[in-house]
Amino acid sequence: MTIKTATIQNERVPIQPFDLGPVEDTKVNRSAVERRASTIPTRRTVKKEFQAAWLLQAVQNIDLTTLSGDDTPGTVRRLCAKARYPIRAELLKDLGVEKPITTGAVCVYHSMVATAVDALQGSGIPVAAVSTGFPAGLIPFTQKIAEIEASVKAGASEIDIVISRQHVLTQNWRGLYDEVKAFRETCGDAHMKTILATGELGTLKNVMRASFICMQAGADFIKTSTGKEPTNATLPVSLVMTRAIRTYYEATGYKVGFKPAGGIRTAKQSVDWLILMKEELGEEWMRPNLFRIGASALLNDIERQLEHFAYGRYASMQYQALG
């Protein structure tokens, strides 16, 4: 079984001039979006060895995440070990996979960046740090900038920033652009994922407008959620954001990545989002350089499904290595 891999694209998404045109032109038919999104889990099915291949691809798209108040260096090191070897070697061998695979990244709070960088040394797995007052984004702007700088200095090669939701809710698009642009400039060579916190933006139209502004301001990825809101990644929201990415690519030629996060816990859900990427953006956007899934519990269910394909039975959760 051959699994394709990819790294972050070399050509960065540039910061573009502020342009209200796409915002003013935005139209979203909510009922049509919901109807289209509802067909994704039911219209396509992936079975047997094809399902196994899709699940192995999903593993490589995971930003393996721990963002808990009780995180310790030990739990982060354990997570990093799981990121290095997300599927045990004997199972990969029985699936016919000839080389090890890893997750797309490990995502932690700033205080754990140095620990994660040390634990992942030599693996090629990037460390992503949540920043700018995650999850609410309500700390002073100067502290947000300082937090990005500190995480980059500590070795984070990806920064997941949160936007100030009030900019969207008050339609202050220039304020949102200036904020995200400043974050991008502060990130330097570190890739920036911009979290919209879509569950707090009110409407799908606001989600699409915010997506356009953040891409103009240089977001390498746009991301649905922090995972801390009551409503996180959903297929309707993801459909709107991927179509914004497609429209932006058609207008500029630049490919922005997409990251759903929060609430994606089952292997079936991971396939649903891969199908969305394939249908809306094409196979290139199914690779880790342009698609990530923010998750903590997802990996265990994927491994159970792969064991069922390989051995015809599900292993008890007690036999799954903890992330």
pLDDT tens digits for the chain (323 residues)? Answer: 444 444 444 478 999 999 999 999 999 999 999 999 999 998 877 888 899 999 999 999 999 999 999 999 999 999 999 999 999 999 999 999 988 899 999 999 999 999 999 999 999 999 999 999 999 999 999 999 999 999 999 999 999 999 999 999 999 999 999 999 999 999 999 999 999 999 999 999 999 999 999 999 999 999 999 999 999 999 999 999 999 999 999 999 999 999 999 999 999 999 999 999 999 999 999 999 999 999 988 999 999 999 999 998 877 666 665 54
314 three-class SS? coil
| Tens digit of each residue's pLDDT (9 = 90 or more) over 51-62 | 999 999 999 999
Domain ranges, residue 151: 21-312
Is residue 95, in this structure, part of any structural domain at all?
yes
Domain holding 200: CATH number?
Answer: 3.20.20.70
Is 48 an annotated catalytic residue? no
CB atoms within 10 A of CB 138: 12
Is residue 117, in this structure, part of any structural domain at all?
yes
Is residue 141, in this structure, part of any structural domain at all?
yes
Among residues 223, 255, 272, 301, which one is catalytic?
223
Angstrom distances, CA of residue 248 to CA of 124, 207, 214, 218, 237:
30, 14, 11, 12, 17
Is residue 292, in this structure, part of any structural domain at all?
yes
Among residues 63, 181, 259, 301, which one is catalytic?
259
- Per residue, what are the HEC states of 215-247? HHCCCCEEECCCCCCCCCCCHHHHHHHHHHHHH
pLDDT at 319: 61
pLDDT at 318: 61
Is residue 258, in this structure, part of any structural domain at all?
yes
Is residue 215, in this structure, part of any structural domain at all?
yes
pLDDT at 46: 81
CA distance 125 to 220: 18
The DSSP H or E segment spanning 105 is: strand 105-108
Is residue 97, in this structure, part of any structural domain at all?
yes
Is residue 12, in this structure, part of any structural domain at all?
no
Is 259 an annotated catalytic residue? yes
Among residues 63, 160, 272, 301, which one is catalytic?
160
Q: Could you give the number of structural domains in the chain?
A: 1
pLDDT at 100: 87
**Global pTM value:** 0.94
| Tens digit of each residue's pLDDT (9 = 90 or more) over 174-221 | 999 999 999 999 999 999 999 999 999 999 999 999 999 999 999 999
